[in-house]
Structure 1
Amino acid sequence: MSIYDLNATTADGATYSLEKYQGHPIVIVNTATKCGLAPQFEILEKLYQQYGPQGLVVLGFPSNQFKQEVDDSQKAEEQCRLTYGVTFPMHEINDVNGPNTQPVFKYLKEAAGGTLGEAIKWNFTKFLISPDGKTVTRFAPQTSPLKMTEKIEEYLK
């Protein structure tokens, strides 16, 4: 199995295959609009604006497992766009831990070298996926998205 075998659903309910991003470096982040780390949206957007034209994909996946997200996917997306200027794709609210974990996050936690049960401990855990989909690097919630820049540039070469 690879990341490209999985599907995701956008905030407006459209489901698609992540296969459409094959060949691109991808940043996937679990988000929450009411989290103290929410200013990272602005940094993620800057990365997306800077490197998106070269192929970088940034995908936001809201979760309310830490009780810091609104309860409606479209409202979460709207808040990201209005408050932080987010233009990268936002998805429906999903679980990132437990029995109802969104399959993308089950895959990412395992592919990043963790055990199947290794929990995401907080909002804004970031995963950087290589263009071939084989390397997944996990970044802690408090780690600035800017710490991914060197690896992103390497993947874009």
Structure 2
Amino acid sequence: MIRILAPIIPFLAGASAAAAFSFGNIDGGTLETEDWAGRPVLVVNTASRCGFTRQYEGLQDLQDRYGGEGLVVLAVPSDDFRQELDSAAEVKEFCSLVFGLTLPMADITPVTGEAAHPFYRWVRDETGFEPSWNFNKVLIGRDGRVLATWGSATEPLSPEITGPIEAELAADG
């Protein structure tokens, strides 16, 4: 299911400090959303033991296909649905060996409820969208608004996702 959303508060481009988010980086340190200001970002909550885990291939393909044009695909491993490995090191090794992932990855992060990462609470508060399972997707436009959200069953390379990404990359910014 796709949800196209109206513009909401700034997220990246020209964002205030309150609208900039930090994720723990699976490689150590942090991933700062303000580093991607002016670029579309597809944020996906992931899990290594899920039936949708094969979507990592499509996420990497999106990064490879559109990364040079500005797209950032951010994988956010989460154990909220009890399908993630026990440690960030195990997740990193699994994703590297099995899928050859090079896209940015957060550390294991809560994505639902009151313990959810501030990004996911912000998306929920502003749009009503909250991941209902692994591999839910949120597309943030270059101007920081949520452009669309998709559930697990929507494949990363489907026209439902590539269409809005291509439109955002083609738009003047």
TM-score w.r.t. length of structure 2 = 0.83
Aligned match for 1:73, one of 88, 91, 100: 88
Distance across 1 between alignment mates of 2:31 and 2:54: 28
Structure 1 alignment gaps of length 5 or more: none
Contact 1:108–1:136 (CA under 8 A) maintained in structure 2: no
Counterpart of 2:132, as a letter, is K
Matched, 1:136 2:147: yes
Q: CA deviation at 1:80?
A: 1.0
Is residue 3–residue 104 contact of structure 1 (8 Å, CA) maintained in 2? no
Q: How many residues are aligned here?
A: 153
- 1:125 match: 136
The AA in structure 2 aligned to 1:148 is: I
Percent identity reads 37
Q: RMSD of the TM alignment (CA)?
A: 1.4
The separation in 2 between residues aligned to 1:101 and 1:74, in whole angstroms, is 21
Change (3 A) 1:119 1:132: closer
Give distance in 1, aligned partners of 2:97 and 2:11: 30
Q: TM (normalized to structure 1)?
A: 0.91
Deviations 1:36-94 (A, max 9, x none): 00010001111110000111100000001111100111211221111112110111101
Does residue 150 of the first structure (1) align with residue 158 of the second (2)?
A: no
| Residue 3 of structure 1 pairs with residue 11 of structure 2 | yes
TM-aligned CA deviation for residue 141 of structure 1: 0.8
**Partner Cα distance (1:133, 1:119) in 2:** 18
Greater than 6 Å deviation, 4+ residue runs: none
Report the 3-state secondary structure (helix = DSSP H, G, I; strand = E; otherwise coil) of the residue aligned with 2:148: strand
